[in-house]
Amino acid sequence: MSTPTLKKYGTYAARDSGAPSDSRDYTTLVLLHGSGWHSAIFEKLFPLVDTLNVRLVAANRPDYPGATPLSEQERMQLNNISETANQDSDSAANALLDYIKENTKKLCDFLAEFILREDVPVEGGIVVAGWSVGAADVLGLLANADAVSSKEVDLRSYIKHLVIYDAPSCILGYAPPTGLCAPLFDPSLTPGEILKVFPLWVSTYYARGEDLTHPEGKALDHPPPTILSMDPSDVQQCLEVNPVLPGGADERLISLGVKLNVFSRLKDGAMYLDKGHPQGGSSWDDIEIKYVWCDQAAWEMPWGVACLQADLDNAKKAGKVTRKVDMCHWDQPQLALTGLLSGL
């Protein structure tokens, strides 16, 4: 199967494998990409779904190829938040949370439009997986779904589970361990240098010790970084740099989310439920998160696993009601689908 072409749904664009033949109980897996690398990066997964009774949908978020660009008003909104951040961090943080809520509305509208236009069966349901920075969209969905869900489609009845897929620790609101710094936040690098260093850093394989609370930054010689084994034309096809340039949508969201501690608040809103209500006060509170991580990824990914696990353990000891989170990891495309679809 060749990689499907992009098709517009709301403010998103998506590559769709199509419905499996003669099936009305297939599961639809929606993949949300990370920063810079868009939906074309999932090309190798499409040939694997033919025998799995799965419909694969790789979506491009707004401001990426085929999707709706950010409006001037939205860019001004991010600029205003950035300007306010140093003078009034609380107001800036709340404004960024509002911006994330608007992004969640776009995601809900995309899912609703896809369901209606493609006649997606409720029997098989939908799994939404956010890879890397795309995990922020999954957290936003859980934190905001009741407020922004589509009026046309009961999305909750379709969602089987949600997946956080190899999220960096910063997107979960965790500070780095002493002595380690991700390229995106390295003050010694210029924006141009970050663009060169980051793709290599994030696609390199790393040694991992048994203790995730002491991550290592040592790169392995073998296998080589994924980007070095890709044809340059494939890299060009999969990479969109504008959103990660200074002032770009992803660059602003990531830098402000870290600076204003917004990602920590977003994670808490998604993971911790309202103890004052029998079911947490939300129809989305029984949705399970599958946390899929790669054990030879850059230190930010296993560090995020260790920090989140510690957070959840401490929360339970303190009597907090938490969402069910199932942790697993993988490293190959075939295992990818197994991990993302686990529990079906």
For residue 72, being part of any structural domain is answered with yes
pTM of the model: 0.92
Rounded Cα–Cα distance for residues 148 and 57 (Å): 22
CB 294 within 8 A of CB 257: no
What is the rounded end-to-end Cα distance, in angstroms, of the chain?
24
Average pLDDT over residues 186-206: 89
For residue 179, being part of any structural domain is answered with yes
For residue 277, being part of any structural domain is answered with yes
- Give the Cβ contact number of residue 147 at 10 Å: 11
For residue 186, being part of any structural domain is answered with yes
For residue 140, being part of any structural domain is answered with yes
For residue 1, being part of any structural domain is answered with no
pLDDT tens, 85-109? Answer: 999 999 999 999 999 999 999 999 9
Query: What CATH number is associated with residue 96?
Result: 3.40.50.1820
For residue 193, being part of any structural domain is answered with yes
Three-class secondary structure assignment of the chain:
CCCCCEEEECCEEEEECCCCCCCCCCEEEEEECCCCECHHHHHHHHHHCCCCCEEEEEEECCCCCCCCCCCHHHHHHHHHHHHHCCCCHHHHHHHHHHHHHHHHHHHHHHHHHHHHHHCCCCCCCEEEEEEHHHHHHHHHHHHHHHHHCCCCCCHHHHEEEEEEECCCHHHHCCCCCCCCCCHHHCCCCCHHHHHHHHHHHHCCCECCCCCCCCCCCCECCCCCCHHHHCCHHHHHHHECCHHHCCCCHHHHHHHHHHHCCHHHHHHHHHHECCCCCCCCCCCCCCCCEEEEECCCCCCHHHHHHHHHHHHHHHHHHCCCCECCEEEEECCCHHHHHHHHHCCC
| Total domains, the chain | 1
pLDDT tens, 10-66? Answer: 999 999 999 999 899 999 999 999 999 999 999 989 998 888 899 999 999 999 999
For residue 84, being part of any structural domain is answered with yes
Q: Between residues 195 and 115, which one has the greater pLDDT?
A: 115
| Per-residue pLDDT, 208 | 76
pLDDT tens, 215-265? Answer: 777 788 888 888 888 888 988 999 999 999 989 999 999 999 999 999 999
Q: Which domain, by its residues, includes 235?
A: 6-341
